Amino acid sequence: MGRVSVVVISYNDVDHVSTAVESALAQGDQVGEVIVVDDGSTDGTAQVLDALDGDPRVRVIHRTTNSGGCGTPRNDGIAAATLPYLLFLDSDDVLRPGAADALLAAADRHGADVAAGRAVRRELPEGRETVWQPEIYDPAAGAKMPGTVVRGIAEHPEILKDTLSVNKLYRTAFLRDRSLIFPDGAFHYEDFVFTARVYAARPRIAYIDTPVYTWNVRRHAATQSISLRRADITNWRQRIAAHREAFHTFRDASASELALAAQAKFLDYDLPMYVRELPQRSPRYVADWWRATRDYVSSFEREAVAMASVPSRWIVRALLAPGADRPEPGVGGLGRLVELAGRPPRLVPPYGDTAPPELAELEPRDLPIVVDAMVQTGTTARLTLRVHDLYGRLAALHPVALRVELVERGEPGAPTTMETPLVGEDGTWSAAVRLRTADLARGGRLAVWHIRAEVRYAGTSQRTPVEVRAADGQIAGRGVVLRRTGQVLLVQTHITGGRTLILRVADGMEGARRVLGARLRRLRRSR
């Protein structure tokens, strides 16, 4: 008999649930039971599960009514589990090969109540993969946690960003002894609350960097997951409710430092994520979002706001300004907040006469400076770039060069890199780079290029990394480039809601098909 129970939850997921169950069974002898909780499905999922019930390790629990969320079926699974350790799995995801072995070995080695491993987000249908919270789980991204064991996370508040329940192995008795369950019923972002309850109980946690879970992100699915429904204001209110509950969980457990860190994390992580998307939303959504956010953030502890990053504090200041019942339009209002929420943040001109006092706290690498660009595409792509000073901070550092990188989204290959000197004039510095447009083509597929830059200074190794934005006057557009071979390149200059500049190059018929397919999907979603 194995030592691990895997709890799989499913609702109307007839196309994927059997794959999830098979990934749990494929873990081998360590998995002694797979408990599948069907949350009142009406699409044939129940029949698929009944067919799987013939495997002696599979137990199916059929709920007669849908609970409205993920918490109740997971709680049913916790109650039904009979083995010493427990894993959670959603029906549209999979456990990675060897996940149970790796997590169990870490739990055994360190006597851990929880063993946590790497989750990978897989964008479908493209198949592009990214590591969830790489600063925690990916040593290549500078993560220090893999290989360590902690008793609670009080000394590592950055772990609060890991709100997933499914990338962790739990000691079943630890959960039951402390009555650690998910919120019941139609409560969304239930993982936020469950992980807060787990962290507040101060478990012994062992961290590994082994990939253990694949989180499949189906952005074009007929029914999207809760985390992808951000265009609905209800989604934001649900996220706020989950964060509020997590905050109270820490405070009620006398973990006041974690309670403050949870509020700071909301300001630095959750808030910017939604601010960045405001240009895509309707005026009604923006007004409702502003009221809900202003009301919630006004309740934050002063110490928590002080723990947040400088750009986040500027956003809070704008939200809570006297009389700011709605966002001001234009560059100086909502547009400025969107830029401050960028990755990395940008403080766009025009600037006021007095520098914000927090600006002095920032190291050169963290300065929210602006590099904008005008782009012309033909056989040659030309970028004319301008670097804007920031209350004299750059002038004091003496910018001398700009390193420009074009990084292909979702591809691990080396970026296209160019370096050019900067020429200063009236508080700005300018530069220009050229490259062959054909060098951005990628053999029969659509290539999406993000443009990044790094400002370099005289006499120092310090740098300021930035993402290049579209200059005022730059417009989005499409063009056709004829290669010497007779092949056609489709080139699109794309500008995001936050004015980030992106180049898309489609090479050949397959690339063109991808471009047209993406455009048709956007049109269908806008109807």
327 upstream amide cis, omega within 30 of 0 = no
**Would you place residue 526 in the very low, low, confident or very high pLDDT band (cuts 50, 70, 90)?**
very low
> Looking at 19-28, 212-221, 433-442, 467-476, which range is the least confident one?
212-221
The answer to whether 462 and 364 have CB atoms below 8 angstroms apart is yes
Same domain? 164 vs 294: no
Per-residue CA distances from 80 to 74, 76, 279, 299 (Å): 10, 6, 46, 39
Same domain? 517 vs 382: yes
Model confidence over 160-174: pLDDT tens digits? 999 999 999 999 999
pLDDT at 13 over 50: yes
Q: What percent of the chain has pLDDT over 90?
A: 76
Q: Look up the domain containing 30 and give its range.
A: 4-220
**76 dihedral zone (left: phi>0; alpha: psi -120 to 50; beta):** alpha
Same domain? 238 vs 202: no
**Would you place residue 508 in the very low, low, confident or very high pLDDT band (cuts 50, 70, 90)?**
low
Q: What's the predicted TM-score (pTM) here?
A: 0.89
Same domain? 92 vs 147: yes
Model confidence over 375-425: pLDDT tens digits? 998 889 999 999 999 999 999 999 999 999 999 987 777 888 999 999 998
Which H helix or E strand runs over 288? Answer: helix 283-297
The answer to whether 480 and 488 have CB atoms below 8 angstroms apart is yes
Average pLDDT of the chain to the nearest whole number: 91
Flag whether 489 is in a domain.
yes
**Would you place residue 369 in the very low, low, confident or very high pLDDT band (cuts 50, 70, 90)?**
very high
Burial class (CB in 10 A: 0-12, 13-18, 19+), 48: buried
Q: Average pLDDT for residues 26-42, to the nearest whole number?
A: 96
Same domain? 88 vs 206: yes
Predicted local confidence at residue 220, as pLDDT: 63
Quote the crossing angle between the two packed helices 256-265 and 190-200, to the nearest 10°: 150
CA pair distance 24, 101, nearest whole angstrom:
12
pLDDT at 224 over 80: no
Same domain? 398 vs 510: yes
The answer to whether 405 and 502 have CB atoms below 8 angstroms apart is no
Tell which wins on pLDDT, 99 or 54: 99
CA pair distance 214, 208, nearest whole angstrom:
15
CA pair distance 254, 237, nearest whole angstrom:
26
Same domain? 334 vs 369: no
> Looking at 32-36, 120-124, 228-232, which range is the least confident one?
228-232
Q: Average pLDDT for residues 206-215, to the nearest whole number?
A: 98
Flag whether 346 is in a domain.
no
Same domain? 37 vs 115: yes
For 366, the 3-state DSSP assignment is helix
pLDDT at 489 over 90: no
Look at residues 160, 192, 220 and tell me which one is the last residue of a structural domain: 220
> Looking at 34-48, 153-167, 214-228, 268-282, which range is the least confident one?
214-228
Flag whether 488 is in a domain.
yes
CA pair distance 10, 16, nearest whole angstrom:
9
Same domain? 44 vs 192: yes
**CATH number for the domain that contains residue 48:** 3.90.550.10
pLDDT at 67 over 80: yes
Predicted local confidence at residue 519, as pLDDT: 53
Same domain? 150 vs 254: no
Predicted local confidence at residue 413, as pLDDT: 77
Predicted local confidence at residue 328, as pLDDT: 78
279 upstream amide cis, omega within 30 of 0 = no
pLDDT at 353 over 80: yes
Predicted local confidence at residue 334, as pLDDT: 87
Q: Average pLDDT for residues 443-468, to the nearest whole number?
A: 92
**324 dihedral zone (left: phi>0; alpha: psi -120 to 50; beta):** beta
pLDDT at 282 over 90: yes
Flag whether 519 is in a domain.
yes
Model confidence over 291-337: pLDDT tens digits? 999 999 999 999 999 999 999 999 999 999 998 888 877 666 888 89
Flag whether 187 is in a domain.
yes
**CATH number for the domain that contains residue 483:** 2.60.40.10
The answer to whether 32 and 63 have CB atoms below 8 angstroms apart is no
Flag whether 226 is in a domain.
no
The position carrying tokens 């595409």 is 377
Can you name the residues that pair with 481 across neighbouring β-strands?
489
Flag whether 347 is in a domain.
no
Same domain? 123 vs 167: yes
Amino acid identity for residue 199 in this structure: Y
- The closest of 514, 490, 368 to 440, measured between CA atoms, is 490
Flag whether 140 is in a domain.
yes
Look at residues 308, 341, 374 and tell me which one is the last residue of a structural domain: 341
Tell which wins on pLDDT, 247 or 53: 247
Same domain? 504 vs 377: yes
Query: What domain count does the chain have?
Result: 3
The answer to whether 193 and 183 have CB atoms below 8 angstroms apart is yes
Q: Average pLDDT for residues 12-17, to the nearest whole number?
A: 95
